Amino acid sequence: MKKINATHFEDIPTFPDGADDFVVHAIIETPRDIRHKYALEPKYGIFKLKQTIADGLQWPYDYGFIPRTLAEDGDPLDIVFLCEAPTFSGCLVEARVLGIIRLEKNGVSNDRVVACPLQQVGFAQSSDQFEPINDSPKESMHSLCRFLVEYSAVEGNEIKFIGVQPRKKAMASIDDKMKAFRKGKKSK
């Protein structure tokens, strides 16, 4: 079968043109407030229903990936987007990086960058006050970390929470994953 990719997500740059420091592009796969988990199917360039999480659980925030990155698990680097209302699968957002949640899944690094929407003139958002990840409500971060561990453990994965780190560590991780992506493209 001929490879189809009508979306070309791999051509979207990691950083928006002229963006401030700590701002990246993110592509949302799974919007918040639903039980389904969607993932990009690169072979076809479309979003696929990957799973439905347990009754009583739902995605607390939008979830997706940072384009032109390659994480240790073979997928692009994951990102959790702390928005007040859901976007949609395939939505391209400019995300202000706050930090990174370090996890291991089945012995392999499986980190999640944590980011929020850019501040908007004339419209206040709860995330406007967040600069470093420590500014976000502690109970929200605790709940998010617990959700990431528990939903994955229910799938039968062995999950190890390593910790939450500041945005400089997140940006260093993004840089490393961009290098891995470029290296991976050259070896193909």
Residue-wise pLDDT for 41-57, tens only, equals: 888 888 999 999 888 88
- For 164-180, the pLDDT digits (tens) are 999 999 999 999 999 99
Per-residue pLDDT reduced to its tens digit, 3-38 = 656 678 888 999 999 988 899 999 999 999 999 999
User: Domain for residue 56, yes or no?
Assistant: yes
CA quadruple 155, 157, 163, 164: dihedral, nearest 10: -40
Query: What percent of the chain is predicted at pLDDT more than 70?
Result: 95
Place 132 in a pLDDT band, splitting at 50, 70 and 90.
Answer: confident
The CATH number covering residue 74 comes to: 3.90.80.10
How large is the greatest C-alpha to C-alpha distance in the chain, in angstroms? 50
List the domain range (segments joined by +) for residue 16: 9-186
The phi, psi pair for 172, rounded to 5°, reads -65, -40
Distances, alpha carbon 29 to alpha carbons 90, 91, 164, in Å: 6, 8, 22
What's the pLDDT at 4? 58
Q: Per the domain annotation, does 4 fall within a domain?
A: no
The yes-or-no verdict on residue 188 having pLDDT over 60 is no
**Domain-located, residue 134:** yes
> Considering its fold, how many domains does the chain have in total?
1
> Given this model, what pLDDT does residue 5 score?
62
